[in-house]
A and B are shown apart, each in its own frame.
Chain A
Amino acid sequence: ETAVFQTPNYHVTQVGNEVSFNCKQTLGHDTMYWYKQDSKKLLKIMFSYNNKQLIVNETVPRRFSPQSSDKAHLNLRIKSVEPEDSAVYLCASSLYWGGAYEQYFGPGTRLTVL
């Protein structure tokens, strides 16, 4: 099956803890993204990677750090989570960088910070 896969589906944690989310795409795409979708459904780009290189780093707190081992994998680590980090984190991929290519989204990881 070719798609964008994310783990875990849900994660509940307490303020100050560290969390990690994983994303894998089997579509053969070059470019991957992390988005944050808040409780009001607002979608905001966080990071863009092209062929495992960080290309776009939007203004996000420094406790967020992405990592890519190859163009099919993109992870997100959050050190010392805060209550405002509660959201759905969506991973997406597109065929190439630098053009208007369709983005394919994974199912998301829902983070709840208590």
Chain B
Amino acid sequence: QQQVRQSPQSLTVWEGETAILNCSYEDSTFDYFPWYWQFPRESPALLIAIRPVSNKKEDGRFTIFFNKREKKLSLHITDSQPGDSATYFCAAFPPSGYNKLTFGKGTVLLVSP
């Protein structure tokens, strides 16, 4: 059973456009949702994260929109740049006591100049 789902599997946008990456989850007890990005031949690194007390989190060109009722979230990347081309992982974390980060399968984003 896949607890964190991501779509699309891959996405291509033109430079300057807004890329939208989707994520949904099964377990309503998840209470922390980080997004990690991974560039080719590098390891994952934290990009931005949100807790369900908020429905929006912004960091520069990156914004997470969160819908707790529907158990969905999305990552919006405005003014996409070729340097944003990477694999983006949505992850979910349960309440404290069980330290296991569950990752989705990732969305491969390509930003064409």
Known contacts A41-B106, A48-B99; is A102 also within 8 Å of B87 by CB? Answer: no
Closest B residue, CB atoms, query A88: B43
Which residues of A sit under 8 angstroms from B25, Cβ to Cβ?
A: none
Across the interface, B46 reaches (CB within 8 A) one of A41, A99, A103, A108, namely: A103
Name the residue on A nearest B42 (C-beta): A107
A40–B107 CA distance with the chains assembled, in angstroms: 11
Q: Mark B67-108, 1 if CB is under 8 A from A, else 0.
A: 000000000000000000001010001001111111101101
Q: How far is the CA of A17 from the CA of B17 in the complex (A)?
A: 49
User: Considering only CB atoms, which chain A residue lies closest to B44 in the complex?
Assistant: A105
Band of interface residues on B: 20 to 34
B31: chain A residues within 8 A (beta carbon): 100
Q: Is the Cβ of B43 less than 8 Å from the Cβ of A45?
A: no
Complex contact A105–B45 (CB within 8 A): yes
| Bound: A56/B45 CA distance, A | 22
- Docked complex: A71-98 residues within 8 A CB-CB of B: 90, 94, 97-98
Q: Are B43 and A31 in contact (CB under 8 A)?
A: no
A47 to chain B, nearest CB (A): 11
Which residues on A sit within 8 Å (CB–CB) of B45?
Answer: 104-105
Residues of A within 8 A of B93 (CB): 100
- Picked from A44, A55, A100, A106, the residue with its CB within 8 Å of the CB of B43 is A106
CB-defined contacts of B96 to chain A, threshold 8 Å: 98-100
CB proximity of A99 to chain B, nearest CB, Å: 5
A42 adjacent to chain B (CB < 8 Å): yes
Q: 12 extra interchain contacts, Cβ-Cβ under 8 A, other than A41-B87, A45-B102? A: A40-B105, A42-B105, A43-B106, A58-B100, A97-B99, A99-B96, A100-B34, A100-B49, A100-B93, A102-B46, A105-B43, A107-B43
A-B CB contact pairs (8 Å), 22 listed: A41-B105, A41-B108, A42-B105, A44-B103, A45-B102, A48-B99, A50-B99, A55-B99, A58-B100, A90-B43, A90-B44, A94-B99, A98-B96, A98-B99, A99-B96, A100-B31, A100-B49, A100-B51, A102-B34, A103-B46, A105-B43, A105-B44
